[in-house]
């Protein structure tokens, strides 16, 4: 591929103090994801999956290494610069949708655009189009409590990409959903990635969904490895 990765992590080290000991979580982790690619991250709890997502999303600083977003290094950015880059270039989806309960679906998607500086009318237009694309055109004025779990998660997905980020990071986005609803939400996510050219890293325990992504990665001894490679080592 001639174009640079949308997200590139190199030499990532991350440790936490545990009493007098140091707990090494990431040990020189390397990861590259290209535009339009959807990558599964399948790893047991406690192996550093959440830490990797937090570092990749600029929510947490690594002890060493560099994170490139859109080909640009981020290690020298101050907190304000990291927040600005995260707000415009990275979208997040979590297992729990974290929608604001007092606001409608449309308002939940409009808000991050207003924070990013978009005018109200344009933000509402974009939010309406995005929710319509995700099959929620008839639910714009409904609050989260009036929607199903799958609908709420699709609103969360719309909110995550409202500012047209380059990278989407999702942590168990279908974990709280029944199999049929999970299938629908996953299909929506894939359609969105293909249509927009996002680079998506999806942490999941669902091996069936992971098998349908472009690549399947896991964590082994603090490093990111291909799942087939990890299986061959064990």
What pLDDT, in 10s, does the model give residues 186-233?
888 888 888 889 999 999 888 888 999 999 999 999 999 998 776 666
pLDDT of 17 strictly over 90 = no
% pLDDT > 70, the chain: 97
Q: Which neighbouring-strand residues pair with 165?
A: none
What single string gives the DSSP state of each residue in 78-141? Answer: -HHHHHHHHHHHEEEE-SS----TTS-HHHHHHHHHHHTT--HHHHHHHHHHHHHHTT-TT-TT
In CATH, what is the architecture of 7-232? 3-Layer(aba) Sandwich (3.40)
Query: What is the value of pTM for the model shown?
Result: 0.89
70-128 residue pLDDT tens:
899 999 999 999 999 998 899 998 877 789 999 999 999 999 999 888 999 999 999 99
Per-domain boundaries in the chain:
7-232
Q: What is the tens place of the pLDDT at every residue in 152-167?
A: 989 999 999 999 899 9
Q: What 3-state DSSP class applies to 43?
A: coil
**3-state DSSP assignment of residue 149:** helix
- Quote the CA–CA distance of 154 and 160 in Å, as a whole number: 10
pLDDT(183) > 90: no
- What are the start-end ranges of the H helices in 134-197? 149-160, 179-196
């Amino acid at each position: 591929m001639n174009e640079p990765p949308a997200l590139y992590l190199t030499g990532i080290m991350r440790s936490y103090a545990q009493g007098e000991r140091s707990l090494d979580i990431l040990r020189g982790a390397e990861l590259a994801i290209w535009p339009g690619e959807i990558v599964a991250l399948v790893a047991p709890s406690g192996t550093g999956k959440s830490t990797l997502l937090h570092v990749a999303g600029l929510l947490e600083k690594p002890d060493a290494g560099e994170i490139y977003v859109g080909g640009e290094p981020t290690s020298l950015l101050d907190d304000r610069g990291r927040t600005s880059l995260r707000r415009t270039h990275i979208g997040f989806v979590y297992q729990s949708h974290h929608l604001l309960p007092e606001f409608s679906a449309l308002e939940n998607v409009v808000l991050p655009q207003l924070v990013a500086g978009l005018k109200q009318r344009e933000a509402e237009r974009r939010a309406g189009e995005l929710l319509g694309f995700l099959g929620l055109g008839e639910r714009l004025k409904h609050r989260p409590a009036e929607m199903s779990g799958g609908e709420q998660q699709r609103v969360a997905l719309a909110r995550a990409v409202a500012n047209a980020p380059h990278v989407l990071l999702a942590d168990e986005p279908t974990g709280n959903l029944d199999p049929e609803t999970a299938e629908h939400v996953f299909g929506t996510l894939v359609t969105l990635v293909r249509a927009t050219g996002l680079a998506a890293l999806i942490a999941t325990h669902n091996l069936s969904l992971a098998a349908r992504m472009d690549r399947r990665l896991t964590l082994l001894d603090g490093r990111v490895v291909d799942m087939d490679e990890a299986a061959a080592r064990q």
